[in-house]
């Protein structure tokens, strides 16, 4: 007898495949030619079995055992009962006949008398997908004795479960023709289930390994080459797996961290260190690195298993937790998922009280629509920038808050929730309300004062003209008839009246800056300068003043007040000149958010202690005998600049020069726009 049983050619299957009884079955064809079927029989003389008269090289005990097997059926039963295998013996000349041992039938949950000894029975119980495997091996083994009949297939158990069976067999041949097939079945279900559990455990480990928030990599201890890494490392660094494997670990960390990493590997298993990991085309990120050494039998490290945790999230979490602002996370259904200490302070609810609750607990009844619109924006992935609203605290108090709401996304970019940052602005709101109230009161008071100044100056002109006219008439009619003292009195009275008229005129002009001003239009600063110089033509000619100007921009301003601004500044430069003729230069420069016009002269100069005082109404630095005037001109300039949303200031070196600066808000476009003269 020649044993052709297989020694390791198994096939694996998915245990979820359909059962044996479903679908049509292949038909087994007898390997014995039809002409030979029925005329050959198996016998000790016709089948090449080992017989007692076998060659001398066979062990005598083996020969004796074969003889006993032929003579005593009890020995066969003993071997069968002592084996875990279920035996079967198949007549290939009458292919429907097959003897199945009781243990064979017991594998599938049946008693001996319940199962017929036919080949059709097991073909009905084998899985439909596995029957071609058995038939293919059968045909190959019958055609070639050297091809092992050895495979693993699935059968349907009586209780509906799956039985994995290793099937081994050998053909009994008559003159080389297969006439019988002797085989054994072994239940390997336990081993298959263990394999499946092992595969499931490995798959679970692989999923955990690849989807861990930490980066894992294995490094060859001798070369420092990366031999394995998880998916998280490729995602966070931006390097493909192929770019990482086979490269040295040093190439993926900042050079200044080399000593730290080397020390960490030497003391692997003891503590960690923070190092900077490089990313593809991006800035380095701080990571907390730990390492574990895998050692050989001699205790030498052969591999380092390294984990790196992105510290940005930990730092971000610390920032969130200790922020003074309320930072709240919620899902798309408005359920709170995170609640920091700032939120506890602002709203009065603890983290435990709010986590898992609806954010609507903070929403006043009149703000429900607002929250719905915010969440609609978030679902579209659009952040809601700074806005102001009102919220309810745990105590029921309504507070004013400023808030920003941003969408939260998962690794695939899908919006999964929202982050809300809120800040208490109740104090600011109260301060703004108080400021608005006071501003309104001040505005009303200013309007009243402007109206009073206008009415007073207008109404004072009438009696002043009467007094002035009477004094002038008296002076002309009695000229030479009054004594010297009387003439002096009349002259003083006329001079006072003239000063009063000038003062009233300036006061009227001051009041008109706010009450009777023109509209703001795009106008040429050069045109306003030309108008001012035209009004000062006589003074310029008399003092031989030289006025020069750089190109000036176009501004959004009141053209008449711009001319008045230049006229007052040029007039002061001419009035407060030194011994030499005045030299005045007008220029402009562009700054990020404003235009700054300047008027520089070479006159008397101003001491720094008077820089603020000179812009107050009726403030003078000289006597009227030295320099005439009412002290209102610079106060008018200040009001003009305030009305235009700008400011005026002075820089001066006494005895050398003085420069007045006027800053106007610039329009959005940064383009320099100079007017033509």
Across 574-578, average pLDDT: 83
Together in a domain, 10 and 159: yes
How far apart CA 97 and CA 116 sit, in angstroms, is 10
- Tell me how far CA of residue 401 lies from CA of 326, 376, 390, 393, in angstroms: 10, 21, 6, 11
Residue ending a domain, among 466, 486, 512, is 512
Together in a domain, 470 and 502: yes
Is 420 part of any domain?
Answer: yes
Q: Which two tokens stand for residue 137?
A: 């091996």
Together in a domain, 507 and 414: no
Residues in the chain: 677
Residue ending a domain, among 373, 394, 424, is 424
What residues contact residue 39 under an 8 Å CB cut-off, 6+ apart?
none
Together in a domain, 508 and 522: no
* Span 165-215, pLDDT tens digits: 999 888 888 888 998 888 889 999 999 999 989 888 888 888 888 888 888
Domain count, the chain: 5
Question: Would you give the distance in Å from CA 464 to the centre of its chain?
Answer: 76
Together in a domain, 436 and 539: no
Is 194 part of any domain?
Answer: no
Q: Which helix (H) or strand (E) holds 141?
A: helix 131-143
Q: Which two tokens stand for residue 506?
A: 């300036």
* Span 395-428, pLDDT tens digits: 999 999 999 999 988 867 899 999 899 999 988 8
| pLDDT at residue 555, as a whole number | 92
Strand duo 546-549 + 415-424: pairing = unpaired
| pLDDT at residue 18, as a whole number | 40
Together in a domain, 338 and 293: no
Is 196 part of any domain?
Answer: no
Is 606 part of any domain?
Answer: yes
Which structural domain, as residue segments, surrounds residue 165? 1-189
Is 672 part of any domain?
Answer: no
Q: What are phi and psi of 577, to 5 degrees?
A: -90, 165
Together in a domain, 135 and 8: yes
Residue 29 has pLDDT above 70, yes or no: no
Together in a domain, 165 and 259: no
Together in a domain, 530 and 655: yes
Residue 432 has pLDDT above 60, yes or no: yes
**What CATH number should be reported for the domain holding residue 276?**
3.30.450.20
**What CATH number should be reported for the domain holding residue 648?**
3.30.565.10
Would you put residue 16 in left (φ > 0), alpha (ψ -120 to 50) or beta?
alpha
329 forms beta bridges with: 338, 419
Is 653 part of any domain?
Answer: yes
| pLDDT at residue 504, as a whole number | 65
What residues contact residue 29 under an 8 Å CB cut-off, 6+ apart?
95
CB atoms within 10 A of CB 468: 18
Averaged confidence pLDDT in the chain: 80
Residue ending a domain, among 128, 156, 189, is 189
DSSP symbol at 47: S
Together in a domain, 445 and 539: no
Q: Which helix (H) or strand (E) holds 74?
A: helix 73-81
CB 652 within 8 A of CB 634: no
Selected residue with higher pLDDT from 36 and 345:
345
- Tell me how far CA of residue 71 lies from CA of 66, 83, 349, in angstroms: 9, 21, 93
């Amino acid at each position: 007898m020649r044993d052709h049983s297989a020694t390791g050619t198994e096939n694996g299957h998915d245990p979820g495949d359909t059962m044996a009884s479903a679908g049509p079955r292949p038909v087994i064809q007898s390997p014995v030619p039809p002409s030979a079927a029925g005329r050959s029989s198996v016998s000790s003389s016709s089948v090449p079995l080992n017989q007692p008269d076998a060659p001398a090289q066979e062990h005598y005990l083996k020969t004796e055992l074969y003889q006993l097997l032929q003579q005593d059926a009890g020995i066969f039963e003993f071997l069968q009962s002592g084996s875990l295998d279920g035996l079967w013996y198949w007549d290939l000349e009458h292919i429907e006949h097959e003897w199945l041992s009781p243990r064979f039938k017991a594998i599938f949950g049946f008693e001996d008398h319940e199962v017929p000894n036919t080949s059709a029975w097991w073909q009905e119980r084998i899985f439909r997908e596995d029957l071609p495997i058995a038939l293919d091996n059968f045909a190959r083994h019958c055609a070639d004795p050297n091809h092992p009949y050895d495979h693993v297939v699935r059968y349907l158990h009586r209780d509906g479960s799956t039985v994995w069976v290793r099937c081994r067999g050998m053909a009994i041949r008559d003159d080389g023709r297969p006439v019988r097939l002797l085989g054994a079945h072994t239940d390997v279900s336990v081993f298959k289930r263990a394999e499946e559990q092992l595969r499931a455990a490995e798959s679970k480990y692989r999923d955990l390994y690849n989807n861990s928030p930490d980066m894992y990599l294995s490094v060859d201890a001798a070369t420092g080459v990366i031999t394995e890494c998880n998916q998280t490392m490729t995602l966070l660094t931006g390097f493909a797996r192929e770019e990482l494997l086979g490269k040295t670990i040093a190439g993926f960390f900042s050079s200044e961290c080399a000593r730290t990493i080397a020390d960490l590997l030497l003391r692997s298993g003891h503590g960690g260190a923070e190092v900077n990991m490089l990313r593809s085309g991006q800035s380095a990120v701080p990571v907390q690195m730990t390492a574990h050494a895998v050692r050989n039998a001699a205790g030498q490290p052969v591999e380092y298993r390294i984990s790196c945790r992105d510290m940005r999230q930990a730092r971000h979490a610390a920032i969130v937790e200790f922020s003074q602002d309320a930072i709240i996370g919620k899902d798309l259904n408005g359920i709170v998922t995170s609640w920091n200490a700032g939120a506890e302070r602002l709203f009065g609810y603890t983290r435990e009280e709010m986590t898992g609750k609806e954010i609507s607990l903070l929403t006043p009844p009149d703000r429900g629509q607002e929250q719905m619109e915010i969440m609609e924006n978030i679902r579209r992935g659009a952040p809601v920038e700074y806005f102001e609203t009102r919220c309810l605290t745990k105590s029921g108090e309504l507070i004013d808050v400023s808030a920003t709401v941003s969408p939260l996304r998962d690794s695939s970019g899908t919006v999964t929730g929202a982050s809300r940052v809120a800040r208490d602005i109740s104090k600011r709101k109260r301060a703004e309300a108080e400021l608005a109230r006071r501003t309104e009161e001040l505005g009303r008071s200013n309007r009243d004062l402007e109206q009073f100044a206008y009415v007073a100056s207008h109404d004072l002109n009438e009696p002043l003209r009467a007094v002035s006219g009477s004094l002038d008439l008296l002076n002309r009619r009695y000229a030479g008839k009054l004594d010297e003292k009387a003439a002096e009195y009349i002259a003083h009275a006329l001079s006072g009246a003239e000063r009063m008229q000038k003062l009233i005129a300036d006061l009227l002009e001051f009041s008109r800056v706010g009450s009777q001003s023109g509209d703001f239009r795009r106008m040429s600063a050069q045109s306003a300068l030309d108008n001012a110089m035209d009004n000062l033509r006589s003074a310029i000619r008399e003092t031989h003043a030289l006025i020069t100007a750089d190109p000036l921009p176009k501004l959004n301003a009141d053209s008449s007040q711009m001319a008045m601004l230049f006229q007052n500044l040029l007039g002061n430069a001419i009035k407060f000149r030194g011994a030499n003729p005045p030299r005045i230069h007008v220029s402009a420069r562009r700054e990020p958010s404003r235009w700054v016009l300047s008027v520089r002269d070479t006159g008397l100069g101003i001491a720094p202690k008077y820089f603020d005082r000179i812009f107050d109404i009726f403030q003078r630095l000289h006597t009227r005998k030295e320099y005439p005037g009412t002290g209102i001109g610079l106060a008018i300039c200040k009001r003009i600049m305030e009305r235009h949303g700008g400011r005026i200031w002075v820089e001066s070196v006494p005895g050398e020069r003085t420069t007045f600066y006027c800053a106007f808000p610039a329009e959005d476009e940064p383009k320099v726009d100079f007017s033509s003269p």
